[in-house]
Amino acid sequence: MLEELYEEIILDHYRRPRNKGKVDPSDIAAHGSNPLCGDEVDISARFQDGRIVELKFDGKGCAICTASASIMTQKLIGKTLPEARQLIGSFLNMMRGETSFGGKEMGDLKALEGVLKFPVRVKCATLAWNTTLQGFQQHTDKQS
């Protein structure tokens, strides 16, 4: 029952991805790929007063990659850079199996827990997140 619900969340985000496209002009733009599956993702974002006001993803990915990117944009918009980094860090730890999945702030992300059973797909689920982190890093480097 629960698995069906989670599958539904993933399929819903895959069919109707949220925040798909490009932010223009953008403060960050990063590209990531996962050759194991053929996923390609472009992340762009704009900050205002220290918060992420726009965050979009583009590219071609499998259902898990696309759903994960779509959920991620919803989770990160409105957050400050440190808050966003922290959430990304927790998610990546969960996807590495280092910490258990949970916490109210995870919401739809719980749907991705099932991916842990398929280690080859973990990279699909983490691609957009790692790419966003990479974009943040470039942004920080530019400012310092």
x/- mask, Zn ion, residues 13-32, rule CB under 5 A, reads --------------------
The only residue of 62, 81, 92, 116 in contact with Zn ion, by rule CB under 5 A: 62
Which residues touch 91 (CB under 8 Å, ≥6 apart)?
Answer: 72, 106, 109, 126, 129
- CA–CA dist 110, 102 (Å, integer): 7
Question: What's the closest the beta carbon of residue 62 comes to Zn ion, in angstroms?
Answer: 3
The only residue of 39, 58, 108, 113 in contact with Zn ion, by rule CB under 5 A: 39
Three-state secondary structure call for residue 55: strand
If binding is defined by CB under 5 A, does position 112 make contact with Zn ion? no
C-alpha atoms less than 13 angstroms from C-alpha of 125 in its C-beta half-sphere: 23
Question: What's the closest the beta carbon of residue 30 comes to Zn ion, in angstroms?
Answer: 18
Quick check: 95 and 115 in contact, CB under 8 A? yes
Number of residues interacting with Zn ion: please give it, by CB under 5 A: 5
Question: What's the closest the beta carbon of residue 37 comes to Zn ion, in angstroms?
Answer: 3
If binding is defined by CB under 5 A, does position 108 make contact with Zn ion? no
If binding is defined by CB under 5 A, does position 58 make contact with Zn ion? no
Question: What's the closest the beta carbon of residue 85 comes to Zn ion, in angstroms?
Answer: 24
Taking CB under 5 A as the criterion, which residues in 117-136 touch Zn ion?
124
Which residues touch 68 (CB under 8 Å, ≥6 apart)?
Answer: 112, 124, 125, 126, 127, 128, 129
Q: Which residues bind Zn ion (CB under 5 A)?
A: 37, 39, 62, 65, 124
